Structure 1
Amino acid sequence: MQLPMSETALLVIDMLNTYQHKDAEVLADCVAEIVDPLADLISRARDRDDVDVIYVNDNYGDFSADFADVADAACNGERPDLVEPIAPDKDSLRVLKVRHSAFYSSSLDYLLGRLDTQQLIITGQVTEQCILYSALDAYVRHFSFIVPPDCVANIDAELGDAALTMMNKNMHAELTPAQKCLC
């Protein structure tokens, strides 16, 4: 398969979740608020030739799982209504990660280099954890990036807001609503 090459990549981070964990109920309530704007943003990105859609998901400690296993578990988990509208299609690029940052011990940095990506749109969950750490790793790699606040979900609203402030002030993230991305 030939890789697409564009300057922008939409990262969909950790949205394939079974919602069978300690903070699942609180997180699911927040995810329910972002599913529609995120699904719309993904759809618009898929319709463009100049944006790569890349799903990056935690393997949840299962090192025998491949990406399809993670996606199937999420679609058959507690909240398929939160997964199905944003699930990867056959053309979506996919990367498994092992910890909070999308870059840590994953092939994402290499993939973005091969795609000649210059700008990222960072979406997903959890704002104050995986999104924040992924943004920091993007920043230290000199990517410019956008974080649509209506496309990231938090567990703790106060920490989520603080994380968005840190991304904006300390990492120069552009905080732009999903509807204004890819215009």
Structure 2
Amino acid sequence: MSDWKNAYRSFYYDSAEEPEDIVLPAPETALLVIDIQNTYLEPKGEPMEDIRWAPFRDRMNGTVIPNTARLIADCRKRGVEVIFARIACLTENGRDRSLSQKKPGFNYLLLPKDREDSQIVPKLAPEGDEVVVLKTTDSALTGTNLRMILHNMGIRNVIVAGIFTDQCISSTVRSLADESFNTVVVDDCCAAATDELHRNELMSINMIYCHVVQMEDVIGFLDAGR
């Protein structure tokens, strides 16, 4: 297991006591996979942009997607709820989107819910009756009925994986913390556009809104919850 108790400490928590061991009982735990959708793995259509985004795609294909697939499989075997959130609008022209998704630039997202580029990548596809919530906001709690779903299922602990660390992951984790869910963010199942953005955001949210851990740590926490 990693030294998660001392890693990713910001200025605020540099001298704080080590957190207690984490135990994740399967009946009270959900894995939430956020926004790992086809659109983010597609070519950018412009050579310089493709080069700029190459490190992100490498991390997604080489680390995030394989690790998340393994984590999903392990959670399914243990009876941990696997839940997905994806950015998708209900209308074809996106008039139901939040303001942040209508602004020009990277955050401009027009992803009608039935279009192929809005779907979850095939390697992580939901199975059976696993819950998928659609959102037009960064936070998966703010823009959906996920809060109610988690409460109705008796969930107290949420394992978070997905993209982008400094946007939808961070917004969702902060919302989960405000709702008093115990939350762990899986470093090697997440990515931001750059490694610097990824690491800086993990330092910002660690120990106050969540605990930042590695995938192998999560397996140990689930083992301890048996």
Return the TM-score normalized by structure 2. 0.67
Task: State the distance in 1 between where 2:180 and 2:190 align.
Answer: 22
Out of 30, 33, 45, the residue aligned to residue 9 of structure 1 is 30
- Counterparts of 1:1-183 in structure 2, within 5 Å, are 6-19=27-40, 20=42, 25-26=53-54, 27-32=56-61, 33-49=63-79, 51-59=80-88, 61-63=89-91, 65-66=112-113, 69=114, 72-74=116-118, 83-171=121-209, 173-181=210-218, 182-183=222-223
- Counterpart secondary structure, 1:39: helix
1:156, CA displacement in angstroms?
Answer: 2.4
Pairs aligned (count)? 167
Deviations 1:71-96 (A, max 9, x none): x4356xxxxxx922211112321111
Q: Is there any run of 5+ residues in structure 2 with no aligned partner, and where?
A: 1-25, 93-111
Alpha-carbon distance in structure 2 between the residues aligned to 1:110 and 1:74: 24
- Separation of aligned partners in 1, 2:158 and 2:91: 27
Deviations 1:37-60, CA, capped at 9 Å, x for gaps: 1100000011122x110001111x
Aligned-pair CA distance for 1:153: 1.1
Report which of the two structures shows the higher radius of gyration computed on alpha carbons: 2
SS in 2 for 1:155: coil
2: distance between equivalents of 1:115 and 1:168? 26
Closer/same/farther in 2, CA of residues 21 and 144 from structure 1, 3 Å limit = farther
The C-alpha deviation readout for 1:97-140, integer Å capped at 9, x for no partner, is: 11111112211111111111100001000001110111100010
User: TM (normalized to structure 1)?
Assistant: 0.81
Q: Sequence identity of aligned pairs in percent?
A: 29
Quote the Cα distance in structure 1 between the aligned partners of 2:217 and 2:181: 20
Instruction: Provide structure 1 residue ranges, at least 5 long, that are not aligned to the other structure.
Output: 76-81
